[in-house]
Homo-oligomer: A and B are copies of this chain.
Amino acid sequence: MSEQKATNITWHEGSVTRDEREKLLGQKGVTVWMTGLSASGKSTIAVILEQMLLHMKKHAYRLDGDNIRMGLNKNLGFSAEDRAENIRRIGEVARLFTDAGVIAITSFISPYRKDRDAVRASMKSGEFIEVYVNVSLETAEMRDPKGLYKKARAGQIKGFTGIDDPYEAPEKAEIVIETEKTKPEDAAKQILSHLERGGYLRA
């Protein structure tokens, strides 16, 4: 298709539909919601998945602490209320990206079932793919790449998931990744296969 120039552009009544955006991108909008303990490997898998999608010419975008915590959610703390609001906002942004036709990949601990289920409920069936990145607390503590578990054990961080705040594992995750038996690139492929089988990688 040759590109049209601004001067001879046509338009019709009504907004661009999601279907039109998806046809343009050759994919379907969806949210891949990774949940799991700190150091479970969520971000590592998300980064690889995003890359694999790019190589398949698919438009994906990752939402994670790096681009959310100091931006959209910088005015939130760690109270129960703020934690719920944190996940709610991330869910709303993921929903917008999904509506835009993008494959949104979120990697947040998102420890509470109620908060994750609220995000799921805000989307249409099939738009929310929950990926449980399962790791034992022992392994996560052993990995501890940022020394956070150590600090939590020493009481320097309060309300740390797995130590003095609960992690509620998903009961109906679409994908479960057993990180102690699965290499990150194989985990990413596991998610990719799910997306392929589900028809998300074509319009």
- The chain A residues found within 8 Å of chain B, CB to CB, are 1, 3-7, 9-12, 14-16, 20-21, 24-25, 47-48, 50-52, 54-57, 59-63, 67, 71-72, 75, 85, 89, 92-93, 95-97, 99-102, 122, 185, 188-189, 192-193, 196, 201
Contacts and interface: CB of A to CB of B under 8 A. Distances in A.
A4 B72 CA distance: 34
Contact of A71 (B71, B85, B96): B96
Contacts of A72: 89, 92-93, 96
A193 B92 contact: no
B67 A16 contact: no
Nearest to A71: B92
A99 B97 CA distance: 12
Contacts of A4: 55-56, 185
Q: Work out how many copies of this chain go into the complex.
A: 2
Nearest to A196: B6
A15 B44 CA distance: 9
Nearest to A194: B6
Given A51-B11, A72-B89, A96 B57 contact: no
Given A48-B11, A71-B92, A185 B6 contact: yes
A52 B9 contact: yes
Contacts of A192: 6, 9
A101 B60 CA distance: 10
Given A9-B189, A21-B54, A100 B99 contact: no
B12 A51 contact: yes
Contacts of A5: 196
Contact of A57 (B3, B48, B101): B3
A120 to B, nearest CB: 15
Nearest to A189: B6
Contact of A193 (B6, B20, B21): B6
Contact of A95 (B55, B71, B193): B71
